[in-house]
Amino acid sequence: MKNQLLFAHLAGIDTELLAVLATDTQTEKGPDAKPQPVLLTSDAAVKAAAASVIASGEYKAGANETLLLHAPAGVKAKRLLLVGLGKQAKATVHSVRSAAGTAVRFTKPRGIRELVFALPEAESLANAASARAAIEGALVGDFDPDTYRSDRKDLSVQSFTVAAPAGADKAAVQAAFAEGVIIGESQNFTRTLVNEPGNILTPTVMGQRASKMASETGLKAEIYSTEKLHELKMGAFWSVSQGSEEPPALIVLRYEPAGVKDGPVLGLVGKGITFDTGGISIKPADNMEKMKYDMAGGAAMLGAMRAIALLKPKVRVIGIVCAAENMPDGKAYKPGDVVTAMSGKTIDIINTDAEGRLVLADGLAYAKQLGATHLIDAATLTGACVVALGMINAGIFSNDDATYEKFNAALATSGEKFWRLPLGEEYAELIKSDIGDIKNTGGRWGGAITAAEFLKVFAEDTPWIHLDIAGMAWVEDSRPYIAKGPSGVAVRSILEWARSYEK
């Protein structure tokens, strides 16, 4: 998709489709209160073109509500698309991101290949932040998961132009727009990886894709396999991979900005289980095909590293992805086994389907060995987190309030939803083992928390965040602004968290 930024009066733009945002300004309450939609533009001709439909009450400007007008009078655009942001008091730049995705997804099945998206003119919606959000939303909205359909038709929008008010701060808007392109493309990079079938995206191929991305963006990349796991004594990581014919991949990416020799070193650690059968503790057949996306945490780290490399914050970052298949071969690890992690901790295996925390245990230890002073991991780790938070918020855990607060502050920019869940000694008691140091599951209750407590053992005293994205990594049903399939969740938030440490 060709992306452009334009500073112009809307009525004079000659395009196939012009999208303009609207909000509902209604403040009255009660059963008789009616929506009062208003267009967020100062262009008199555009307002006049939509005046009759606005007055009719047919259009209410609800969140992502659309209305298409053909041959609008007094406007050069062939079509005028109204996209709602919902209640004016609740409209944010995140609403703009969704609206841009909605506009793109509206045009795709209609054969419209050119779209101009007008930034909202409202005091609460800054031009620069809206420009970044708009292009992010457009890129995310243009993605479809039907990669391997033999009759696949390219319905992509070929040209997406953000139209900023003529009087906007051009330098600020241009910089924000450029950032948005990088971030949106990085989120789609993650989504492309997550969308791949397990027979295509093996651990080895995931390493190759990471290496290619690193060479394109200037990251240093090291891709290791079985021999390195044995050298590092990564017994937890190896135990998961030993039942598969596919060798594991230990992916290490380094971002080292010029002139930065001290300060924090951020360790980004991702679970990269390219297919998860559950191992000997095999999963039910229903929905097992979705376990191709059990590497979404690792893919999120790769997407975040891509964005970091291109945006160049002044902070050192190490990205580690532990990629493997979890298969029930005769060589597979078993319930009752005891394995020794890189840190020297012994792990009593209760359930081989609790494999993600095993690979992350060694990934966290290795990140610390490489010099990481702050840690963040991401994983589709537990169904228990989905039970607790549904598919609305992802879970977040931390052993350090200051580190958590930095991440929480980053959400104001990323627009993603995470909810902090507790840790504590009473939960840690549930994973103590009679035969070894810890068990890899703590039973049914509080499963997301005991999984986080397991990882906390390997983070030790290093400031650490754990993101459980199990409920958010896959969009179960298409929404107006995003297709059903991989979401790319956490890329934007991890990026903003990393940038908060910039010198």
CA distance 285 to 438: 30
pLDDT exceeds cutoff 80 at 31: no
Block residue for tokens 């390493």: 207
* Domains of the chain: residue spans and CATH: 2-165 (3.40.220.10), 186-499 (3.40.630.10)
Amino acid at 261: K
Cβ-based neighbours of 126, under 8 Å, separated by 6 or more: 93
pLDDT exceeds cutoff 80 at 28: no
pLDDT exceeds cutoff 80 at 32: no
* pLDDT tens digits, one per residue of 333-357: 999 999 999 999 999 999 999 999 9
What phi and psi, each to the nearest 5 degrees, are found at residue 338?
-125, 125
Confidence of residue 30 (pLDDT cuts 50, 70, 90): confident
CA distance 427 to 424: 5
pLDDT exceeds cutoff 90 at 33: no
In what helix (H) or strand (E) does residue 411 lie, and over which residues does it extend? Answer: helix 401-414
pLDDT exceeds cutoff 80 at 10: yes
* pLDDT tens digits, one per residue of 219-274: 999 999 999 999 999 999 999 999 999 999 999 999 999 999 999 999 999 999 99
pLDDT exceeds cutoff 80 at 361: yes
User: DSSP string spanning 317-378?
Assistant: EEEEEEEEEE---TTS--TT-EEE-TTS-EEE-S-TT--HHHHHHHHHHHHHHTT-SEEEEE
What average pLDDT does range 77-97 have in this prediction?
97
Strand ranges for 193-341 from DSSP E: 220-224, 249-255, 265-276, 316-326, 338-340
* pLDDT tens digits, one per residue of 174-213: 999 999 999 999 999 999 999 999 999 999 999 999 999 9
Residues noted as catalytic: 283, 357
* pLDDT tens digits, one per residue of 407-446: 999 999 999 999 999 999 999 999 999 999 999 999 999 9
What is residue 29's predicted lDDT score, i.e. its pLDDT?
78
Confidence of residue 156 (pLDDT cuts 50, 70, 90): confident
